Amino acid sequence: MRRRATARSGKQCDEPTRTRTGGGVIEVTAFKREYLTSGSKTALGLQLSPLEIPAAVSVISQDLLRDQQVNNVDNALRNVAGVSKFKTGNGGEERFAIRGFDASQSIYRDGARINNALNASNIPSTETANIERIEVLKGPSALLYGQGQPGGVINYVTKRPDVAPAYGLELIGGNFGFFKVEADATGTVPLTDKIAYRFVGAYLNTDSFRDEVARERFLINPSLLITPTDSTRLIVGYEFINDDFTQDRGQVLDGDNVQGFFFSDRQDVTQFFGIPNFNSNSEAEARRIYALGEYDVVEGYRIEATYSRTDTDKTNFDSSPRFITADLAVIGPIGSPVENLVRIDPRKTIGSGRTQQVTFKHFLDLKGPAGIQHQILASYTFEDFDTFSTSFRGDRDVFFNVATREYFTQFTLDDLLDPNILQPTDSVVFGLEDFGASLDQDFREHGVNFLDYIKVNNWLSLLFGVRYSDFRDRASAFRDTNIAFRGGLVVSPTSQSSIYFSFSEGYAPSGGLLGIDDGPIDPETSRSFELGGKLSLRGGALLLTTAIFDVKQRGVPFIVNPFDEFGNPTLFEDIRFGNIGEIRTRGGEIEAVGQITDNWRIQAGYAFLDNQNTETGLGLFEVVFSEGARLPGIAAHNFNLFTFYEIETPFGELGIGGGVFAQTDVFISTENRAEFNGFIQADLAAYFKRGRWKVQINARNVTDAVFLLGQNGIDTDSFAAIRTGTSAPRTITGSIAVAF
């Protein structure tokens, strides 16, 4: 099957619709925005329509990103049913869960892994200017991606060159000192139509509603599309991100481990529990080179090869609140000698990382007996991941008074003469000492994958897939292999509807944890059963998807020798683990994406998640995980709705829209004692477009709702009290864009 030598990736910055006339002239007609995309290669690696995919796949389109004026992926992924947002990680990176399971090991960029649980703090925050769309595949994904968590995969698809010339510039401003400029240009290189280019650039500078917090980020992303023949395509690109920011661990909670923890009237969301002029020195840099080659060998046979390498460097000036009383209070109790004080531990971490991925894929279309059609994918993947970090800690604590907002340390005049002593403010001085904590990870994974999508007839399709993975952690000499299967069945009662059933497996290495025999324990494994239905309405303009699912993660490691032979607590270095734990999520979700009418578009979803520990044991620090306990930060119910309506006027196009995002209460840790209240957030938006120009205004959280966010993996309420995120207050942004 030969294809045209183009790589259209979508519209530029609010690009008008372009059509080619018979004479080859590109005619600018009107703006057109759509939320529903035609398909997603992330789901199976094959070119299938949404109705043909036996899985729940959510796609956040470029047009939805524009309508919501998205400048961070936190705000983008709230549009996906079943995705939970955690507070940002210790390195300022974004954190999510899919169907109740942490997705830290399952974030990809153009199909290549950029993140995992061990490297999370080494990557910059995600810039959205060069993201074309975001794909979310639900359920275990070992078949395509190897090791990872069972909830699903998040894939950021970047913009690609286009032979049709287009140029866009957008200026965005808002409260809290927000300023951003984005530039986007694409077209063919002069004197040849065989090479197309694309350049995306962005600069962001912003303060925050939180005291002392700011960010400055810079992106450049040039790429080329080379098409020497109609059957050969090569895309090469380079991406550079520099991110200077104030590291902010978020809020703390009042109370203690006896009376419980809560958000009190001594607190507000603007308080900063870092150190002024210290945390603001944090910086991260990422450099990515990537290439994609495709060749149509003969009709029905295509090969594809990809390469991606990302190098990251990060210096994190961090400050972590600590307990200030024996009852584990974080804010000094009223009437005590430490009333209103928060104890802060200065920290600095220097880290670097490298991820490389190489893939070779063969795509084969076959027609068998009785008209049975096969889409076959056979592939090989090599992934190389390396990260290193080392940490330093302050030689004394810094204190913050929540009533007076003063920072101070106890120091002498001799400190000011010591070259090893830092003086971030007049009242704060301290030195940094080697923490003795470092992380050195180096693993490789080889994977061989076979997938066959069988279309028996117009109403029945089958899927079978298997992957063999060989995982090696060279830092600990650990090796493990895994075979994962995926199966599916699609029944199409009509050409506009389908019912599907799927089964998938996944695995995650144990990270070198040792068992009672001093050998590495087995990896965590997962499996998912899913039953769903899809309905296409209005000639394919609106898609309804519903699914029920049962996902289990088995072999979760817990301590098996909490005490030694004499009855004393086991020394940390002698602790051994066993694969005895299990986590389960059962639930359902429904999504509606597309156009209700030609002028009215919508993206909406609802998810119910019954997420809990079903088999438990003893974790680190003698924490007992209770059977039946829900995981922190995972709401039983969440809902998202965003919609826009366009009105044609004599002067141009007027768009008016808004959305509602809501979830129910969540526990702050697996202790399941304290809870964060549920919330409802309302957004509004409007734009006016005339010719090549567009002005837009967006208001997020218009009711100024205040709510708190948890962190993944928190096992005690006391630890959650120093790891709490907070909502942003009412935020207004306005923009002006031109496309030509």
Q: How confident is the model at residue 389 (pLDDT cuts 50, 70, 90)?
A: confident
| CA distance linking residue 470 with residue 616, whole number of Å | 28
Q: How confident is the model at residue 712 (pLDDT cuts 50, 70, 90)?
A: confident
Q: Is residue 12 part of a domain?
A: no
Q: Is residue 5 part of a domain?
A: no
- What pLDDT sits at residue 21? 37
Q: How confident is the model at residue 414 (pLDDT cuts 50, 70, 90)?
A: confident
With CA atoms as reference, report the closest residue to 441 among 86, 97, 147, 93. Answer: 147
Is the pLDDT at 184 greater than 90, yes or no? yes
pLDDT digits (tens, 9 = 90+) for 715-736: 789 989 998 999 999 999 999 9
- What pLDDT sits at residue 149? 82
- What pLDDT sits at residue 90? 59
Is the pLDDT at 178 greater than 50, yes or no? yes
Q: How confident is the model at residue 434 (pLDDT cuts 50, 70, 90)?
A: confident
Domain containing residue 638: CATH number: 2.40.170.20
Ramachandran assignment for 527, one of left (phi > 0), alpha (psi -120 to 50 degrees), beta (any other) = beta
Q: Is residue 397 part of a domain?
A: yes
Residue type, 470: D
Q: Is residue 715 part of a domain?
A: yes
Q: Is residue 653 part of a domain?
A: yes
Q: 287-318 burial string, b = 16+ CB within 10 Å, else e?
A: ebebbbbbebeeeeebebebbbbbebebebbb
pLDDT, mean of residues 506-535: 83
pLDDT, mean of residues 599-622: 83
Is the pLDDT at 24 greater than 50, yes or no? no
244 forms bridges with which residues in the sheet? 216, 283
Is the pLDDT at 435 greater than 80, yes or no? no
| CA distance linking residue 526 with residue 142, whole number of Å | 9
Global pTM reads 0.91
Is the pLDDT at 168 greater than 50, yes or no? yes
- What pLDDT sits at residue 563? 67
Q: How confident is the model at residue 613 (pLDDT cuts 50, 70, 90)?
A: confident
Domains contained in the chain, number: 1
Is the pLDDT at 23 greater than 70, yes or no? no
pLDDT digits (tens, 9 = 90+) for 566-593: 666 666 667 777 777 889 999 999 999 9
pLDDT digits (tens, 9 = 90+) for 542-556: 999 999 999 999 888
241 forms bridges with which residues in the sheet? 219, 286
| CA distance linking residue 473 with residue 447, whole number of Å | 15
Residue numbers of the domain that contains 578: 18-739
pLDDT, mean of residues 508-534: 82
More confident residue, 613 or 441: 613
Q: Is residue 8 part of a domain?
A: no
- What pLDDT sits at residue 618? 60
pLDDT, averaged across the chain: 87
Burial (CB < 10 A; 0-12, 13-18, 19+), residue 187, is middle
Distances (CA, A) of 471 to 34, 116, 446, 501: 41, 15, 7, 30
Least confident of 15-29, 81-95, 163-177: 15-29
- What pLDDT sits at residue 32? 63
Q: How far apart are the first and last CA of the chain?
A: 34
Q: Which DSSP symbol is given to 717?
A: H
pLDDT, mean of residues 27-38: 64
Q: Is residue 267 part of a domain?
A: yes
Q: What is the 3-state secondary structure (H, E, C) of 637-681?
A: EEEEEEEEEEEEECCEEEEEEEEEEEECCEECCCCCCCEECCEEE
Q: How confident is the model at residue 711 (pLDDT cuts 50, 70, 90)?
A: confident
Q: Is residue 639 part of a domain?
A: yes
- What pLDDT sits at residue 260? 93
Is the pLDDT at 254 greater than 90, yes or no? yes
- What pLDDT sits at residue 627? 79
| CA distance linking residue 692 with residue 714, whole number of Å | 49
pLDDT digits (tens, 9 = 90+) for 187-212: 999 988 999 999 999 999 999 999 99
Is the pLDDT at 147 greater than 90, yes or no? no
Is the pLDDT at 508 greater than 90, yes or no? no
733 forms bridges with which residues in the sheet? 174, 698
Pairing between strand 107-109 and 152-158? parallel
Least confident of 92-106, 234-248, 284-298, 311-325: 92-106
What proportion of the chain, given as a percentage, has pLDDT over 70?
Answer: 89
pLDDT, mean of residues 20-27: 40
What proportion of the chain, given as a percentage, has pLDDT over 90?
Answer: 64
Highest mean pLDDT among 33-37, 267-271, 495-499: 495-499
Is the pLDDT at 6 greater than 50, yes or no? no
| CA distance linking residue 598 with residue 202, whole number of Å | 32
pLDDT digits (tens, 9 = 90+) for 646-679: 999 999 999 999 999 999 999 998 889 999 999 9
Q: Which DSSP symbol is given to 564?
A: -
197 forms bridges with which residues in the sheet? 187, 224
pLDDT digits (tens, 9 = 90+) for 149-158: 888 989 999 9
pLDDT digits (tens, 9 = 90+) for 211-225: 999 999 999 999 999
